[in-house]
Amino acid sequence: MDQKMTQNCCFFSKSSRSVIEYLGALSSNQLDSLTTLCDTFVPSIHDANSYGHQDQGNIDDNEDSYTKFLQTSASMNGTPQHIAWMINNRLQHPKLNLCKLALWLLSTRIGTFILCGKASLSTQFPYLQTFSNISPKKREESVKSWATSCFKLLRILFFAAKILVLLVFYTQVNDESQNSSWKALGYAGPDPDFKKQKQENMNSNEKDDQPFGPLYEGIISLKNSQKIIFHRLQELGFSVSKPHNFKNARRSTECPAFIIECDAVVVGSGSGGGVIAGILANAGHKVLVLEKGSYLARTNLSLLEGTSMDQMYLGSGLLITQDMDIMLLAGSTVGGGSTVNWSASIQTPQHVLKEWSESYNLELFESELYKEAMKIVCEKMGVQSEIEDEGFQNMILRKGCQELGYPVETIPTNAPSDHYCGWCSMGCKDGKKKGTAETWLVNLVKSGNGAILPECEALEVIHEEKNDNSGKSKAIGVAFAFQNIEGMREICMVKSKVTIVACGALSTPSLLKRSGLKNPNIGRNLHLHPVVIAWGYFPDSPSTSNEIWPKAEKKSYEGGIMTAMSKVVANFEGSGYGALIQTPGLHPGMFSALMPWVSGLDFKMRMSKYSRTAYIFALARDKGSGEALSPYSVSYKLDQIDEENLKAGLEKTLRILAAAGAEEIGTQQEKGRSLKVNEASAKEFERFVKEESSIEIGKHSVPICSAHQMGSCRMGVDPKTSVVNSKGETWEVEGLFLGDSSVCPTAIGVNPMVTIQAISYCTAQSVLQLLKNQKNAPSDHYCGWNAFGCKDGKKKGTADTWLVDLVKSGNGAILPECEALEVIHEEKNDNSGKHKAIGVTFAFQNIEGMREICMVKSKVTIVSCGALSTPSLLKKSGLKNPNIGRNMHFHPVVFAWGYFPDSPSKSNEIWPEAEKRSYEGGIMTAMSKVVATFEGSGYGAIIQTPGFHPGMFSALMPWVSGLDIKMRMSKYSRTAYIFALARDMGSGEALSPYSVSYKLDQTDEENLKAGLEKTLRILAAAGAEELVLNMKRGGV
């Protein structure tokens, strides 16, 4: 297999493995130890009849599949080779070398004695055996002892080996995408309806782009030739160039293969980045999205658990904390977590908003903007709370709660009521689940202003120091790496006006640190929403009842994954910190990784019950926190309060399962205890529930999972305690925004998708404002004639932006040289006294020079003639509101000037340079807020520069005599004007553009005088030889 195929293949696919791939991963001795370890966890059991069938689960009518399942060992399926390949190509963890060391030790006699103790002893010379030579029974006992060992490293070894072996064995597939154990488990594999749909599409001759997903036109594959990549980007309006050779470049990021220019670059396309990208693109800005994961949409999906984890999850779904105590799941595909989550769409709870607003002083979270944001994102996702047919696990949760009198409610989802699908964690086969790849990113693509580059990795945010002595820097883009068409690594750069990082709470901190940000809060305050799970078995042939419930055709892995929840221990009305009770979506691989392992036979018996086993979990809003140095280096400490809340939740889940009718219940505690509910007395039941829910959580005793990570770059009002401000902008780097779950001030306590989207919506408004405030011309736009129009279109007024969109849309036209006469409106028939606009009449001069009057009839009318002309049009139209034309503000301006001769009288230095002229260059690029009082009353004056050509210059220059004005005008090209502009409290009235009155407020006058004083001082300090005010007496 060539290098390119090896890198692109999926480790769960048997057909893509070859012996060559394992070379370099493990030695032959290590592989031998691994093979023996795999067969200890998944042994071949030939004498199945001697164990009896009374406790078997889903035996098919043809028992051959069950017998084959029992007799198939891990090595018979090639599981050890798969794991060896993963160790070499996929796994990244600080303790990976310890696992390799353990495999080497198990290949030696002394090492086996160290790890297995007396089990390795033999009565024959040399009296010590290697792991592979120990009897199967003793191997099993040794491995089981690791799970409860007092030595932490042995517990870690057991935990890691168990997860890897079982997850791979139950997810690996053959050339027909089948697994030999699935039939015995009662598992269908990929959604049968989906397989049928794919086959129909293959057999159809009709061309249909819909299966490729709605983003197809905006996706640019970097595995194309550079020529195609350039062409596609340029087609979408992006500037692409090859840089000059960087001979003195010290880092690879300083000499990129090519440079892309845009208004905004967004790193990440999930619930945060996708929202921001869609909003910015819809507003007319050029947006480039960089996504580490691939784009898999609709019929491109496999709906195979192992393949999906490899292709759509960070770290191939095998992330775990440094102490290997908590399993972490995070999406890594176009659409991020919103593509693979379980559809729950819960708004930020009110007590959380109150805490963020009052305890963290973040006014955003009790603002109208945030309320609007939640409403908009929910509407965008089509969030609703109806269910036509509830799935197996949620039926059980709902019934158990109702039987016990616990509160239970329906979870709002971003899928329609008939969305009976249990494969949502592998993508949405029909696009009904409205993640960002089906909503906000569709806006990006349809706007014509955006593109998505999948399968590329952001290396660092590029920023440069500002020239204002603030010590801050400004983001100017992102360097990223990708694998080109030849399989080689290339590095490119995106230059942008603003940069948005939205890689998720596990990845954003490491990108910021690689980029040189020093804020000590980066990566800290990480919250995980820790989860502990209980299970209950509901056979399709009950032992004590004739009623089969849930119905026999119901399977645990089918139906809406998350539609019911209980807040019985959520404590929303108290401290706000408690636990929610919900259901997960578990397919055989993850089910096996979480189920306790006691022995090879016991585990296969548990797995045979898979399709009728319900999982229910408790999710804590955690006070405890950790740190994310990278996705592969995460530390976390469970707070005592969180552990108590999880224990309380675990107790409730066991009671709920029993109340719903489970015949057997248990938890994930590694001793693997369970209780036959119908055979137990009330006292035995109570003792079991209390004991199982009081065992210490974590430390490899009761496994913890996390699918929600947040808070690692939290929002706040002080850089000493936070990473970003309330606008989402980093304290250190201007123009660098964060837009993902990392900005959450604390844990949220509910599924975070709506909250992340709402915060990101608000952040997008801040980004839009920043882009609006920036100059609407490129940095090389050295032009002083902007007041006469833009000769090259580089200044982006509406005629070069929004009106271009109007024309390109094919839905608009512009009529110049016509004058609106009045708005036509007619009285409504609802007795309200109000009128309804129905159009506008306008006048123009026809081809013969005659005046003609026409009418436009419209559904809505927008008047946008400016503050001087709009009032008169409204009055001509018969509107009577007395406020029309009043309260007009002017931003009054006063000027001072300074003369900078090109032959100074007191210095040999000519400054500015002799070739510089007052009327050339960017008109307005610098300003001072020295008397602006933004932090005080908000009413003051800013200091800026105008663009004056001779006519306006002469009109404003004081006239003392004819000779004097000509002498002053002779200095025109080296005279600098600076003005003070007041935010005025005074106001006036505009009856028409030709009838305007205005009264300057005393406060405004004082502010202008203060500004005028500063302008004179500034000119003098800059080296002016002559100063003057624009006063009648023309004093110099």
CATH number at residue 684: 3.30.560
Q: Where does the pLDDT of residue 194 fall: very low under 50, low under 70, confident under 90, or very high at 90 and above?
A: confident
Q: Where does the pLDDT of residue 198 fall: very low under 50, low under 70, confident under 90, or very high at 90 and above?
A: low
Is the predicted pLDDT of residue 579 greater than 60, yes or no? Answer: yes
Helical pair 79-89 and 152-169, crossing angle rounded to 10 deg: 110
124 and 16 fall within a common domain:
yes
Among 384, 443, 395, residue whose Cα is nearest residue 419: 384
Question: Structure tokens of 780?
Answer: 């090389």
Judging by DSSP bridges, how do beta strands 473-483 and 489-501 pair with one another?
A: antiparallel
Q: Where does the pLDDT of residue 543 fall: very low under 50, low under 70, confident under 90, or very high at 90 and above?
A: confident
Cα-based distances in Å from 750 to 282, 528, 653? 30, 11, 17
Q: The domain spanning residue 448 has which CATH number?
A: 3.50.50.60
CA angle 473, 478, 479 (to 5 degrees): 125
Residue 779 has what pLDDT?
A: 61
Contacts with 82 (C-beta within 8 Å, 6 or more apart), sequence order = 11, 12, 14, 17, 168, 172
- For residues 79 and 15, the answer to whether their CB atoms sit within 8 Å is no
For range 29-56, the mean pLDDT: 80
Is the predicted pLDDT of residue 497 greater than 90, yes or no? Answer: yes
For range 609-634, the mean pLDDT: 98
| CB-facing half-sphere around the CA of 242: CA atoms within 13 A | 7
The burial of 921, by beta-carbon neighbours within 10 Å (0-12 exposed, 13-18 middle, 19 or more buried), is given as middle
- For residues 1018 and 978, the answer to whether their CB atoms sit within 8 Å is yes
Rounded distance between C-alpha atoms, residue 131 and residue 117, angstroms = 11
Question: Structure tokens of 727?
Answer: 């606008």
678 and 585 fall within a common domain:
yes
Q: Where does the pLDDT of residue 58 fall: very low under 50, low under 70, confident under 90, or very high at 90 and above?
A: low
Q: Where does the pLDDT of residue 842 fall: very low under 50, low under 70, confident under 90, or very high at 90 and above?
A: very high
The Cβ of residue 330 has, within 10 Å, a number of other Cβ atoms equal to: 24
62 and 114 fall within a common domain:
yes
Rounded distance between C-alpha atoms, residue 905 and residue 903, angstroms = 6
The Cβ of residue 789 has, within 10 Å, a number of other Cβ atoms equal to: 10
Residue 47 has what pLDDT?
A: 74
Decide: helix, strand or coil at residue 427: strand
- Residue at 841 is within a domain: no
Query: Which bin fits 213, alpha (ψ -120 to 50), beta or left (φ > 0)?
Result: left
The model's pLDDT over 388-437, given as tens digits with 9 standing for 90+, comes to: 999 999 999 999 999 999 999 999 999 999 999 999 999 999 899 999 99
Judging by DSSP bridges, how do beta strands 704-706 and 326-328 pair with one another?
A: parallel
Q: Which domain holds residue 112?
A: 3-183
Q: Which of 683, 706, 729 is the last residue of a domain?
A: 706
SS (H, E, C) 507-561: CHHHHHHHCCCCCCCCCCCEECCCEEEEEEECCCCCCCCCCCCCCCCCCCCCCCC
Helices (H), 129-191: 136-147, 152-169, 182-185
Residue 454 backbone phi and psi in degrees, to 5:
-80, 170
Residue 884 has what pLDDT?
A: 95
For range 711-720, the mean pLDDT: 98
Residue 4 has what pLDDT?
A: 34
The model's pLDDT over 552-572, given as tens digits with 9 standing for 90+, comes to: 899 999 999 999 999 999 999
pTM, entire model = 0.78
Residue 23 has what pLDDT?
A: 46
Is the predicted pLDDT of residue 205 greater than 70, yes or no? Answer: no
The model's pLDDT over 78-132, given as tens digits with 9 standing for 90+, comes to: 999 999 999 988 888 888 888 899 999 999 999 999 999 999 998 888 889 999 9
The Cβ of residue 446 has, within 10 Å, a number of other Cβ atoms equal to: 16
- Residue at 191 is within a domain: no
- Residue at 471 is within a domain: yes
Q: Where does the pLDDT of residue 53 fall: very low under 50, low under 70, confident under 90, or very high at 90 and above?
A: very low
- Residue at 326 is within a domain: no
Q: Which of 419, 587, 700, 708 is catalytic?
A: 708
More confident call, 251 vs 910? 910
- Residue at 480 is within a domain: yes
More confident call, 698 vs 119? 119
Q: Residue type at 697?
A: I
Residue 777 has what pLDDT?
A: 63
Q: Which of 706, 729, 748 is the last residue of a domain?
A: 706
More confident call, 699 vs 249? 699
Residue 18 has what pLDDT?
A: 46
Query: Which bin fits 749, alpha (ψ -120 to 50), beta or left (φ > 0)?
Result: left
Q: Which of 706, 734, 759 is the last residue of a domain?
A: 706
Among 13, 91, 147, residue whose Cα is nearest residue 599: 147
Q: Residue type at 578?
A: G
Is the predicted pLDDT of residue 201 greater than 70, yes or no? Answer: no
- Residue percentage of the chain with pLDDT more than 90: 74
Judging by DSSP bridges, how do beta strands 893-899 and 818-827 pair with one another?
A: unpaired
23 and 68 fall within a common domain:
yes
| CB-facing half-sphere around the CA of 556: CA atoms within 13 A | 28
Residue 792 has what pLDDT?
A: 77
Among 79, 114, 506, 448, residue whose Cα is nearest residue 292: 506
- Residue at 404 is within a domain: yes
Question: Structure tokens of 976?
Answer: 């600098």
DSSP string, 768-825: HHHHHHS-SS-TT---S-GGG--SSS-S--GGGTHHHHHHHHTS-----SEEEEEEEE
The model's pLDDT over 289-325, given as tens digits with 9 standing for 90+, comes to: 999 999 998 888 999 999 999 999 999 999 999 999 9
The whole-chain average pLDDT of the chain stands at 90
588 and 684 fall within a common domain:
yes
Domain count, the chain: 5
| CB-facing half-sphere around the CA of 93: CA atoms within 13 A | 27
Question: Structure tokens of 467?
Answer: 């020239």
799 and 766 fall within a common domain:
no
| CA 917 to centroid of chain Cα atoms | 49
The model's pLDDT over 143-187, given as tens digits with 9 standing for 90+, comes to: 999 999 999 999 999 999 999 999 999 999 999 999 999 999 999
User: Which helix (H) or strand (E) is 42 found in, with range?
Assistant: none
For range 618-647, the mean pLDDT: 97
Cα-based distances in Å from 827 to 42, 832, 860? 81, 9, 15
Q: Where does the pLDDT of residue 60 fall: very low under 50, low under 70, confident under 90, or very high at 90 and above?
A: very low
438 and 477 fall within a common domain:
yes
More confident call, 255 vs 894? 894
Residue 910 has what pLDDT?
A: 73
Q: Where does the pLDDT of residue 775 fall: very low under 50, low under 70, confident under 90, or very high at 90 and above?
A: low
Question: Which residue reads 């299966």 in tokens?
Answer: 211
437 and 558 fall within a common domain:
no
Rounded distance between C-alpha atoms, residue 847 and residue 851, angstroms = 10
Q: Where does the pLDDT of residue 202 fall: very low under 50, low under 70, confident under 90, or very high at 90 and above?
A: low
- For residues 227 and 460, the answer to whether their CB atoms sit within 8 Å is no
Exposure string for 109-145, b = 16+ CB within 10 A, e = fewer: bebbbebbeebbeeeeeeebbbbbebeeebbbbbbbe
Is the predicted pLDDT of residue 10 greater than 80, yes or no? Answer: no
- Residue at 143 is within a domain: yes
> Is the peptide bond prior to 631 cis by the omega test (within 30 degrees of 0)?
no
719 and 702 fall within a common domain:
no
- Residue at 325 is within a domain: no
124 and 17 fall within a common domain:
yes
Q: Is 46 a catalytic residue?
A: no
Please give the span between the terminal C-alpha atoms of the chain, in angstroms, as a whole number: 85
Is the predicted pLDDT of residue 928 greater than 50, yes or no? Answer: yes
767 and 725 fall within a common domain:
yes
75 and 145 fall within a common domain:
yes
